Amino acid sequence: MSTTSASASAPAAGFDPVPVRRSPLARFTKRATRHPGFMAGAVLLAVILVLSIGAPLFTAHDPYAQDISRRLIPPVWHDKGSWEHWLGTDKLGRDYFARLLYGGRISLMIGAATVLLSGIIGTALGVAAGFFGGRVDMVIGYIINVRLALPVVLVALAVAALVGTSLNTVIVVLGLLLWDRFAVVARSTTQQIAHADFVGAARAIGCSTRLIVFSEVLPNILNPLIVVATLEMAHAILLEAALSFLGLGVQPPLPSWGLMISEGKQYMFFSPWVITIPGVALVALVLGINLLGDGLRDVTAPDNRS
Amino acid sequence: MLAFLLRRLAVALSVVLTVSVIAFLLLHLSGDLATDLAGPEASPEQVARVRVEYGLDQPLMVQYGQWLAGAARFDFGRSFYFRESVASLLGDRIPITLKLGAIALGLALAVAIPLGALAAVKRGSWFDRAALAFCALGQAVPTFWLGLTLIIIFAVNLRWLPVSGNATWSHYVLPSVALGWYAIPAVMRLTRNGMLDVMASDYIRTARAKGLRPHTVIFKHALRNAVVPVVALAAVQFGFMLGGSIVVEAVFSLQGLGQLAWEAIARKDFPVVQAIVMLLATIYILLTFLADLLNAWLDPRIRVA
């Protein structure tokens, strides 16, 4: 960045317009707002975030309150639907819209917590491999290979069945399994800058390895890691839904979208909306996160590489 | 090339060994298997008998050694639940899952490669944008939900295809679509990027300059080279599909390896779970090994690394 501004202050040659000097944040916002995918993802995700976090503001219903006399009421666009339960009710008469909103909290929470855990593991391994190279790199590369060979869904299911199924189990198991992409990306990006001049300079003035890693390496590999984090968050949310669907993830009566689909499965032939509604919510959330992640990759890419 | 091959083979074998330790320890450190097996009402003597019968009284190292020695000969002991050898249980189920995976991969490649190639040729057009949007949407659809939705549309409403089971070929159509779906975006993006790189290369410019027809250039010269990395990706995707088929088999009640794994986990039938983890991991390692070899054979620069 400093090199471009230095050359910009040189007299502009020929017809080159004089580049305007902008702060990184201003550049980011300018690029981001011009990227349709990024904006679509950001809006989608923002809507879901507001709806789930502010759930009590948008529905008066309790997501756990059962009413057996009002089971499987269809959504409002059906003949028998009503505005009181505008997305209908489930097999226990619980308001579907309320369960959807509170279920969003579970998905977001699992996605964020899993990525935090797997991000720390993967980044630590990847930076160590890329920074130290040699034997360390070989051993960590080997660990990554072993991890990749393990079938994720099967191992997650088996561990959940052994340890006992709960929200925390899902987070820990997925966090311990989904760090591979963080490690791969952190390793290759660290390798690229491990021999850069500024790292050598830091070493020459006597900085400790820890200081170099935290103040020189990490800030420079942060952008690609944030991209990985968004994509892995989507991955974790999809896996949680699959685990809950198979009965070994989030447990009833918690409202998880995967669990809602699982509970609705036996009614889907006559009331298909019981699986359509949570399914569409899942697609919207994952699509939003993925678009945001793909957009971030383009927006934070060095120079205009469109 | 031989040195490269041996080095990769050694790595692959040791990864298999490490996975075997993990698969073994994971399910053995989880408490007392004999008590689980004998059931809640068993007397201490009965528990002790079960312990001896299944070799659970041996030290862990000995148990691991015996299990590994057996596993190398595809003998994974007896199922806790079926009183049948794990190998024969697996033998019944493997063909179903392999068939499902093969059809799913075939479908995914048949859709993704032409779409990716066309998107690259018409770069920036509405088709390219639609294809990329389809990719983004495709990756956001959960496999199990796609399966259920396909059942509602094609089996319940249109009545074109059966809901579940594995009696005929038509039973494999919906599960294969559900399983192959997730691989389409990855393959398509790789084909598109590969095509873009190749199309920008000098030999394509030469082919164009000497007046070859556009579609000869695209299909004979460009696609052939662009598709090389896709072959390696396809091998890896096939490994993922075998692991992911557990969800699809549960949705469509296909009696394959995934369904067996799911049921075995629910029944705490550890020998079966271990065997399936081992089998899937080994297949994955084998596939990535072959993909590595293929890449190295096609691109000599890799062999040095």
Using CA of residue B131, residue B134, residue B139, residue B144, what is the dihedral sign?
negative
DSSP B41: T
Per the structure, the count of domains in chain B is 2
Task: Let me know whether B141 and B186 are in one domain.
Answer: yes
Q: Which of B104-113, B115-124, B284-293 has the highest mean pLDDT?
A: B104-113
Are B7 and B109 within one domain?
no
Q: Give the pLDDT score at A34.
A: 83
User: Confidence class of residue A8 from pLDDT cuts 50, 70 and 90?
Assistant: very low
Q: Give domain status of residue B41, yes or no.
A: yes
**Could you identify the residue written with the tokens 């008066």?**
A60
Same domain, B276 and B133: yes
Chain A contact set for B151 (CB, 8 A)? 268
| B225: in domain | yes
**Residue among A145, A154, A242 minimizing CB distance to B142:** A242
**Residue at a domain's end among B72, B103, B131:** B72
pTM confidence score: 0.86
Query: Which residues in chain A are contacts of B80 at CB distance < 8 A?
Result: none
Contact B247/A163, CB-based, under 8 Å? Answer: no
Q: Is A213:A127 a contact under the CB 8 Å cutoff?
A: yes
Any idea what the CATH number is for the domain that residue B225 is in?
Answer: 1.10.3720.10
- Domain assignment present for B89: no
Q: Shortest CA distance to A45 belongs to which of A95, A89, A107?
A: A107
B14/B100 same-domain check? no
Highest-pLDDT range among A54-68, A110-124, B165-179, B256-270: A110-124
Residue B68 lies in a domain: yes
Residues B112 and B181 both lie in one domain: yes
Which chain B residues contact residue A142 at CB under 8 A?
Answer: 11, 14-15, 18
B101 and B65 within one domain: no
Residues B49 and B134 in one domain: no
Full set of structural domains in chain A with CATH: 46-304 (1.10.3720.10)
Nearest to B96 by CA among B165, B177, B145: B165
Q: What percent of chain A has pLDDT above 70?
A: 92
- Is B259 a member of any domain? yes
CB contact at 8 A, B132 and B292: no
What pLDDT score does B29 carry? 66
Structural domain contains residue B145:
yes
ipTM: 0.85
Q: In the structure encoding, which two tokens stand for residue B182, read together?
A: 């997730």
Domain residues for B18?
A: 2-72
The residue ranges of DSSP E strands in chain A, in sequence order, are none
A58 touches chain B (CB under 8 A): no
Q: What confidence category does residue B101 fall into, taking pLDDT thresholds of 50, 70 and 90? A: very high
**Same domain membership, residue B108 and residue B36:** no
Q: CB atoms < 10 A from the CB of A9, how many?
A: 10
B82 part of a folded domain: no
| Ordered DSSP codes for A202-270 | HHHTT--HHHHIIIIIHHHHHHHHHHHHHHHHHHHHHHHHHHHHTTSSSPTTS--HHHHHHHHGGGTTT
- Beta-carbon contacts of A238 under 8 Å, excluding residues fewer than 6 positions away, are A282, A286, B142
> In Å, what is the CA distance from B88 to each residue of A57, A300, B78, B94, B278?
57, 53, 9, 10, 16
The whole-angstrom distance between A22's CA and the closest CA on chain B is 29
Q: Are residues B214 and B173 in the same domain?
A: yes
pLDDT of residue B91: 86
